[in-house]
Amino acid sequence: MTETPKTGYEVIQGYLKTIDGSPGVYRMLDSESRVLYVGKARNLRARVSNYARPSGHSGRIARMISNTASMMFLTTKTETEALLLEQNLIKQLKPKFNVLLRDDKSFPNILVTADQDYPQIKKHRGAKKEKGNYYGPFASAGAVNRTLNQLQRVFLLRDCSNAMFESRTRPCLQHQIKRCSAPCVGKISPEEYQKTVQDAQKFLNGKSTDIQARLASDMAQASEDMEFERAAALRDRIKALTQVQTAQGINPQGVSEADIIALHLDQGQACVQVFFIRANQNWGNRDYYPRVGPDVDAAEVLEAFIGQFYDTREPPRQLILSNEIENPDLMADALSGKLGRKVELLVPKRGEKAELVDGALRNARESLARKLAETATQTNLLKGLADAFDLDGPPQRIEVYDNSHIQGTNAVGGMIVAGPDGMMKNQYRKFNIRGEELTPGDDFGMMKEVLTRRFKRLLKEDPDRKLGMWPELLLIDGGAGQVSAVASIMREYGVEDIPMVGVAKGIDRDAGKEEFYRVGKRPMALRHNDPVLYFIQRLRDEAHRFAIGTHRAKRAKAVGATPLDEVPGVGAARKRALLAHFGSAKAVGRANLSDLLAVEGVSGALAERIYAFFHERG
């Protein structure tokens, strides 16, 4: 007879003999070795002894202790190291009882390229590998686009790609609508263009009043020299800059570089609002909804958020917070070490900084209220879905499948996921249809391939269904035939216990007349005005949108492909050079060795490889 593993505070007491007062990180694990909680400690023995007490804990901590079957420890040299390691492990392991930042997308920046006579200004996201000056972060693509539009109106900088810039023979539409100075066709000298680039960079550094004074001086001089066309152009730029400054009237005067971070807790949920202030300008805001428990306090939530938020991001010089955090000294040391200069954590009580926090807090409060209302609506819809299709309970994970193709070409399958918090876009998946034996347009065959690959992966990655990756309801686009095909796949993999519904267009294929098919049951319909029907329509439409978008992207990539993509050693730069020299991939294939050698960047060995590639293909 297998003995049930011991859990609880008595297990924790046993570890007190083996640990000392060093700083470090501890992990609490359940009887199946799943990580329940990751924590840091200035003194490991003191922290663990708190958990070894049989009473005096909050409900969340008491549940965590009662589930603990073992612990792991890792000592560090300093408390700051322990803080960094703790946040890294939380993001990696996603323990059940920790506060967890769920949305961790990167932020866009503005890049002004370097080492060019006519630098390009553009939006940039990701690693900063390209040479140039980066400005950001901006809260969203919309915030970047607004700023880029302002820069183009005032400074007339180009945003076109290098390839387009080099191939222009006459000005584009941007020049005609006074958004670009047309450097591509020599309408402005490199020296004059560089001056405007410097002005744009001053603007991004918050020095717009200096620019306005110089432009006014230049306009007066142009008028005096009777260069009236140039004076009018400078007048237009001053006017555009004045409009930009008027629109930015809400920007702080006494805060040059900071993130404003405000937290609001309500009904066991949290919203953190982050405003980005750079160069005394508000560069947008984002809201976050970290996973929290019912009895966490604000200090714990905010510290966990800051640690995870800046794990992969560069912090500003100041963090202006709505609440104190548990270890402000450690967090300031950790962020200062990352930035390479001092980072301050402030909780202002009065003045402009306090007003900024109040504004962010109001946004957090309103955002969470909207989120809670949406969640309540979603909960009711999931209950209605369970009632309509006789499910055991409201499904926590719904997977919806759809296919897209044109006469069988560039076929893809799409899977979207929805749950209590709405659409779970980070869980969406695309499937490039690989089955060579499929007849073009075989929707049954495509659905079979998609579901086969999906269940194979689930059985491999989560065979015990404990990681929350398995669907509790499948919705597929189609009627009795698709339902039967999917049911056979589910039987083959032993997963026929998952409820599955086929959604088919009804009479005249009108929305609102859908029929629903289930294995072994008669087709059914819902009332025309039933909210659950609208919910299913939204899910189906989202799956269709995702599949269509994926298909279009694949088709566009195929259209832009050339045989040169398959030649070893021919990258993007050499491909551009070959196409520019010969005009087409077909002409490259007809070229002889001496012609290929005449192309810049093509060596003798590469020329032979290209020649052999095309001529061996017959």
- Tell me the DSSP string of 74-110: EE-SSHHHHHHHHHHHHHHH--TTS-B--------EE
Q: At what angle do helices 351-388 and 531-559 cross, to 10 degrees?
A: 110
What's the confidence (pLDDT) of residue 75? 94
- E strand or H helix at 236: helix 228-247
Q: Are strands 422-423 and 398-406 parallel, antiparallel or unpaired?
A: unpaired
pLDDT tens string 98-149: 999 877 678 899 999 988 889 999 999 888 888 999 988 888 888 888 888 8
Query: Which class is domain 9-79?
Result: alpha beta
Asked if 291 and 258 touch (Cβ cutoff 8 Å), the reply is no
Rounded to whole angstroms, the Cα distance separating 122 from 119 reads 10
- CB-based contacts of 281: which residues, under 8 Å, 6+ apart? 206, 248, 251
> Is 398-557 CATH 3.30.420.340?
yes
What's the confidence (pLDDT) of residue 408? 47
Rounded to whole angstroms, the Cα distance separating 353 from 90 reads 31
The overall average pLDDT reported for the chain is 85
Tell me what percent of the residues of the chain surpass a pLDDT of 90.
38
Closest CA to 473 of 524, 433, 416: 416
What's the confidence (pLDDT) of residue 564? 73
Alpha helices in 316-411 (DSSP H): 328-339, 351-388
Three state DSSP letters for 439-507: CCCCHHHHHHHHHHHHHHHHHHHCCCCCCCCCCCEEEEECCHHHHHHHHHHHHHCCCCCCCEEEEECCH
Asked if 90 and 347 touch (Cβ cutoff 8 Å), the reply is no
Average pLDDT over residues 300-329: 93
| CB burial of residue 480 (10 Å; 0-12, 13-18, 19+) | middle
Does residue 327 register a pLDDT over 70? yes
What's the confidence (pLDDT) of residue 126? 83
What's the confidence (pLDDT) of residue 241? 65
Average pLDDT over residues 235-245: 65
Average pLDDT over residues 275-295: 87
Query: Which class is domain 563-616?
Result: mainly alpha
| Better-scored residue on pLDDT, 576 or 96 | 96
Does residue 97 register a pLDDT over 90? yes
What's the confidence (pLDDT) of residue 1? 43
**Cα-Cα-Cα-Cα dihedral sign, residues 205, 175, 236, 243:** negative
Does residue 551 register a pLDDT over 70? no
pLDDT tens string 335-358: 999 888 999 999 999 999 999 999
| Better-scored residue on pLDDT, 228 or 145 | 145
Closest CA to 282 of 103, 136, 148: 136
What's the confidence (pLDDT) of residue 247? 47
Rounded to whole angstroms, the Cα distance separating 447 from 484 reads 11
Residue 268 pLDDT level (bands cut at 50, 70, 90)? confident
Fold assignment, 257-370: Nucleotidyltransferase; domain 5 (3.30.420)
**Among the listed ranges 63-67, 239-243, 313-317, 370-374, which one has the minimum average pLDDT value?**
239-243
What's the confidence (pLDDT) of residue 298? 93
Does residue 455 register a pLDDT over 70? yes
What's the confidence (pLDDT) of residue 583? 74
Q: Where are the domains of the chain?
A: 9-79, 257-370, 398-557, 563-616
Phi, psi of 544 (to 5 degrees): -65, -45
Kindly calculate the radius of gyration of the chain based on its CA atoms and give it in whole angstroms.
30
| Better-scored residue on pLDDT, 57 or 151 | 57
- Tell me the DSSP string of 207-227: -HHHHHHHHHHHHHHHHHTT-
Does residue 71 register a pLDDT over 80? yes
pTM for the full model?
Answer: 0.73
What's the confidence (pLDDT) of residue 182? 92
- CA angle 60-61-65, nearest 5°? 120
Asked if 350 and 291 touch (Cβ cutoff 8 Å), the reply is no
Average pLDDT over residues 430-436: 75
Closest CA to 573 of 163, 120, 159: 163
Residue 608 pLDDT level (bands cut at 50, 70, 90)? confident
Does residue 609 register a pLDDT over 70? yes
Give me the long-range contacts of 203-207 (CB less than 8 A, separation at least 24): 203/151, 203/154, 203/155, 203/241, 204/110, 204/135, 204/147, 204/151, 204/279, 205/279, 206/256, 206/278, 206/279, 206/280, 206/281, 207/279
Asked if 27 and 47 touch (Cβ cutoff 8 Å), the reply is no
Indicate the length of the chain as a whole number. Answer: 618
Asked if 47 and 61 touch (Cβ cutoff 8 Å), the reply is no
CA dist list (Å): 310 to 134, 331, 546? 18, 10, 31
What's the confidence (pLDDT) of residue 463? 87
What's the confidence (pLDDT) of residue 410? 61
**Among the listed ranges 40-44, 258-262, 475-479, which one has the minimum average pLDDT value?**
475-479
pLDDT tens string 173-206: 888 888 899 999 999 999 989 988 988 888 888 7
Q: How many CB atoms lie within 10 A of CB 608?
A: 13
Does residue 407 register a pLDDT over 80? no
Residues 230-254 as b/e (b if ≥16 CB within 10 A, e otherwise) read: ebeebeebbebbeebeeeeeeebee
Q: Do 563-616 and 257-370 have the same topology in CATH?
A: no
Does residue 539 register a pLDDT over 50? yes
